[in-house]
Amino acid sequence: MGKEGAPLLVIDNFIQNPEELAADAAEADFHPVGSYYPGLRTAVPMPYPLAVYQFTRTVIADVFGLAGKDVIDSRCNFCLITKRADEVGVRQRIPHCDSPDTDVIVVLHYLFKAPFGGTSFYRHRQTGFEMVTADRKDAYEACLAEELAAGEPSQYIEGDSPLYERIAAVPAAYNRAVIYRSASLHTADVGPGFTYDPSPKTGRLTANSSFLFGYQAVVALRK
C-alpha cells in the first residue's frame, strides 16, 4: 500500500466459530486503558491467541519478509472504542503507529456486525512517512509537534486531512482479519455517526493481536 509498498493482508472468514469468541468477550471484564487507547480492553483467553499464531505464522513470514524468524513475544486483547474525540488527547485522534519495530505484526480481527467503520492507513504529508520506524521516529515526532502546536484536529481523522493523506482503507466485515506492520500509520475509522457503544455484544468489538518476530536465540538470552 502507498508509495512505500508496505504489505497489507486481509483474510475473510478468519475463524470457524466467531460467535464463540464474541460470546467470550461478552462475559469478559473490560477496563479503561489509560490515555493511549480511546476505550476499553481486556485480554483474550486461550486458545485464541495460540490458534491465531499457528494459523498466521507462515503466511506472515512469507508476506512480510520474516523468513527464519518466529514469534518470541505477543499480546492479544479484546478492544472497544468508547470515547468521543473530546474525551481523548490529540494523539488518539490522529493516525499512529503501535511500535516502530518492523518485526512487530498486528492481526486485527473484526467481531461486530453493526455498520461501524473499518481501518485506514495514512501518509504523513510533511515527512512523507507511511511507516514510523525507529530511524524515523525522532524526525516524525519533531515535525508533528510543530504542526500540532499550530492547531489540533478536534475530531477523529477519517480520510484525508491537512496533516495526513489516506493511502488505503479496509472496510469492516464480520470475521475479517487485517494484518499489517505495527509501524504503519493507521487509525480506526470513527465517523460522525459512531455510537461509542461500550457493550461487547453491540459495540465495535475487535480482537487485537501483536506478534514480535525474532530469532529463538533472543529468547535464550532473555532468560
> What digits encode the pLDDT tens for the residues 45-76?
999 999 999 999 999 999 999 988 999 999 99
CA distance 123 to 95: 9
Specify the CATH number of the domain 8-222: 2.60.120
In the chain, where the domains are located = 8-222
Which residue's entry shows cell 480520510? 159
CB distance 96 to 148 below 8 Å: no
Please state the pTM of the whole predicted model: 0.93
Name the amino acid, one letter, at 92: Q
Task: Assign 35 a pLDDT band (cuts: 50, 70, 90).
Answer: low
Show the cell assigned to 44.
483474550
Nearest-angstrom CA–CA distance, 161 and 60: 31
